Amino acid sequence: MLLLLLLSPASAEDFSIVSWNIHKGSRLERVLEEFRSPELSKASLFALQEVLTEPGFRQQERFPGEAHAVGRDVIVSRWEIADRGEVLVNPATGRRAAWADVRSPEGREARLYSLHLSYKIGRDPFVPHIRAAEMRAVLDHADAYPGPVIVAGDFNTVRWFVCCGRGAPLLRLMENRGYRDALAAAGVACNSQHIAGTVDWIFVKGLKPESAACGRYAGSDHKWIEARVSFK
């Protein structure tokens, strides 16, 4: 069931961010159809995970907007991308995250990160300290940016682990560093993966959450999530 909470009228200063793990694009045509839906067709920024970007696939080229891919983490922007890059979040495994500085039609700028944190190391899924360290690398990188920041993606905060629900160390770290959970701020809760629970998140700093949506399973084993925010 789609839950959409509208708290204030849209304006030129408001925009929407979508985060979605598309499950390796195994049902890519259905995912692309969802991008054309009334809800997602109005979003400006997308943080996507598990996008097959290798030669022979290059799924990022199928999405509407300018794409920036780092591994299988992709940012798709309907705004101008002014700068882009990657963050090495885990030197031991080589895991990286994508970032892009985006510019709205009104000339406002923000930085968006798309990331997929480690689910397990070897066979061990009980690695909250690893995920916290990976998030710390992203936040340390973001500290150098002077404007608003969005950190979105699949954080793998699996709900039934004592370590990894809303008390997960990485979530406390983000709150301590001044980031807000955009869905929670709008009063929306979303179990975004039918087995794992709430694993997908949108956090913001320097932006005001206005509304949020818990989306559908539409070609993926994850629901998409959306946050509408405004520049302060």
Pairing of strands 149-154, 80-90: unpaired
CB atoms within 10 A of CB 119: 14
Using the structure block, give the residue that is written with the tokens 């500290």. Answer: 143
pTM value is: 0.93
Where does the pLDDT of residue 3 fall: very low under 50, low under 70, confident under 90, or very high at 90 and above? very low
pLDDT digit string, tens, across residues 156-177: 998 766 677 788 999 999 999 9
Torsion of CA 83, 11, 115, 174, to 10 degrees: 110
Mean pLDDT across the chain, nearest whole number? 92
- Alpha-carbon span 161 to 110, nearest angstrom: 33
The predicted structure's pLDDT at residue 160: 64
The predicted structure's pLDDT at residue 5: 35
Q: What angle do CA 99, 101, 114 make, to 5 degrees?
A: 25
pLDDT digit string, tens, across residues 36-79: 999 999 999 999 999 999 999 999 999 999 999 999 999 999 99
pLDDT digit string, tens, across residues 96-128: 999 999 999 999 999 999 999 999 888 887 799
Least confidently predicted of 6-20, 73-87, 140-154: 6-20
Where does the pLDDT of residue 135 fall: very low under 50, low under 70, confident under 90, or very high at 90 and above? very high
Determine the 3-state secondary structure of 182 from DSSP.
Answer: helix
Both tokens assigned to 72: 């299988």
Name the packing angle between helices 128-142 and 169-176 (round to 10°): 20
The predicted structure's pLDDT at residue 1: 40
CB atoms within 10 A of CB 159: 15
pLDDT digit string, tens, across residues 182-232: 999 999 999 999 888 899 999 999 999 999 999 999 999 999 999 999 998
The predicted structure's pLDDT at residue 162: 62
- Alpha-carbon span 53 to 150, nearest angstrom: 23
Which domain does 201 fall in, by range? 3-231
Q: What's the domain count of the chain?
A: 1
The predicted structure's pLDDT at residue 83: 98
Q: CATH number, domain at 223?
A: 3.60.10.10
